[in-house]
A and B are shown apart, each in its own frame.
Chain A
Amino acid sequence: MSGGRALLIGLERNRYRIDAGAIDGLVPTASIVPVPRAPRGVLGLTEWRGRLLTVIDLPLILDERPNGDAACLVRLASPHASTALFVPGPVRLVDDTADVRQLETIDPVRLVEAIELRLRSRPFRGNRGVA
């Protein structure tokens, strides 16, 4: 879509790439509020410019660990514009060369779909008012 840019993410063990077209933008990490009974991989909720964003714990999904102090939220592009990935590591926007394409690619759409599938397989059941 972008025609040659990709976001590089450096976690503790590996570097990953995300197609720049799948990204709406990067925001600094604000306070993330945990959500009770959220599916595995959902870190919580945060607020960005009056909008509520669902924050996905990327290291947990990738079975990784944080790398350094720098952390940011990567907002996904539509149709998952209300979703952000928590990335605890350095990020850089680079030209999507062949070398870069050798790295493991994160597909945000599939990621979100997998989480949504988990969410659907375990629908919310309130403790109150339900017989």
Chain B
Amino acid sequence: MQKKLAAWFLLVALLYALVGIAVPRLQPDPFWQVILIGSSYVVIGLGVSWLVSYLLTRRLTELARAASVISRGDLTRAVHIKGDDETAQLARSFSMMSESLQNIVLEVSNVAEQINGSAQSLSSTATELNHTTDEIAETTRQIADGAEQQARQVAGTSSTTRELAGSIELVSESARSVLRSATEVSSRTSGGVADVRRAEEGIRRLEMSTEAAGMQVAGFRSKANEIASIVNFISSIAHQTHLLAINAAIEAARAGEEGKGFAVVADEVSRLADNASGFADKISSLSDEIIAGSELVAGGIRERMVISKELRAVIQSTTQSLEQIQQSSRDTAERAEEISGLTESQLGAASRVVASLEQISGIAHLNAKGTEEASDATAQQNESMRRMAGSAHTLAQTSDQLRDLIEIFKLRPRAR
């Protein structure tokens, strides 16, 4: 630059020298010489000063124009000024500044893009979270309802289990009572079996004596039959005697007066025969009554034999039944004892179940309370999510505004 200025200074000096030499030669008049030289010098001086000012302001103007373009956001404009002077250094600094500004704007644009994306993502995530939180809140309410219902059901189950325990206690008492009764039945049945065996023996003896009586009655009947046949015979004789007496009386009547005495005898004989016939009839009726009585007694004896046989069968059946009852009562006693033991263990189990149910009830109450708190927390979280979604929306709007602002800058395409 200094060399350039020295060259320019030599050129101007040369021009002045040339004018100073040429004018005296061309114009002899000194006046005009002075005028010409002075005017030439003024013209040259003006030209030099214009040139100097031009050279000085040209790069600054270019720099100012570039600054104006940059100020409108166009960062594509590059400033190329050669040289090492202050203006060139200023231009380089200006270019570096423009470059840096472009880099910064690019970075800011990228960041704004990222912020926008993140804000939208955050907004959608917040919306999803909001939905999810709503679902969680609904689920939590359902859990709370379920927990309350569970608590109520557990309370009901606990009450039922207490009733069950009461019933088991009653069953246990009944089983003990059955055990006592079965033991008593067993002992009484043993006595009953012995009594029934004695009764069977008595009936057997009674049967034997009845059989002997039956045989005696049969003998009586045989004798009575014999009597009846004898009486029949007597009756027949009486009848014949009666007929003979009537015949004798008829004959006596035929004999007339001489037969009167005979007739008296015949009448007496007839009367005796009638008496004999009457007695024979009475004996016959008595023997018939004896026979009928014997038949009745024999029928009674037969009936008694049948009844005693039936009784014996009944007693044998009763003995078997009593023995079965005895066995059954023993079995019943064993079962009742087992039931008693089982009910005691059931009672213990029921008590443990009641205790567990009470614990479950407490836990269910705690669950209900916890789910209520969780529901409140979820509601708060839901509110926070809504606020966060609002903030994300605002952030997205802000990043959009930032992007709009950055879009003012016109950037040079970057090599990738």
* Interface, chain A (partner B; CB < 8 A): 2-5, 7, 20-21, 23-28, 70, 72, 91-93
Contacts and interface: CB of A to CB of B under 8 A. Distances in A.
A2 B253 contact: yes
Given A2-B253, A20-B253, A93 B270 contact: yes
Given A20-B253, A25-B246, A25-B247, 18 more contacts: A2-B250, A2-B254, A3-B253, A5-B249, A7-B246, A21-B253, A23-B250, A24-B250, A25-B250, A25-B251, A26-B246, A26-B247, A28-B236, A28-B239, A28-B240, A70-B239, A72-B243, A93-B267
B26 to A, nearest CB: 225
A24 B250 CA distance: 8
B249 A28 contact: no
Contacts of A93: 246, 249-250, 267, 270
Nearest to B252: A5
A5 B243 contact: no
Contacts of A23: 250
Interface residues of B, number: 15
Among B251, B253, B256, find the residue whose CB has the most chain A CB atoms closer than 10 A: B253
9 contacts: A2-B254, A23-B250, A25-B250, A26-B243, A27-B243, A70-B239, A92-B246, A93-B249, A93-B267
Nearest to A71: B239
Chain A interface, DSSP helix/strand/loop, else mixed: strand
A28 B243 contact: yes
B250 A20 contact: yes
A2 to B, nearest CB: 4
Contacts of B251: 25
Contacts of B240: 28
Contacts of B246: 7, 25-26, 91-93
B412 to A, nearest CB: 169
B250 A5 contact: yes
A72 B247 CA distance: 12
A93 B277 CA distance: 16
Among B236, B250, B270, B277, find the residue whose CB has the most chain A CB atoms closer than 10 A: B250
B229 to A, nearest CB: 15
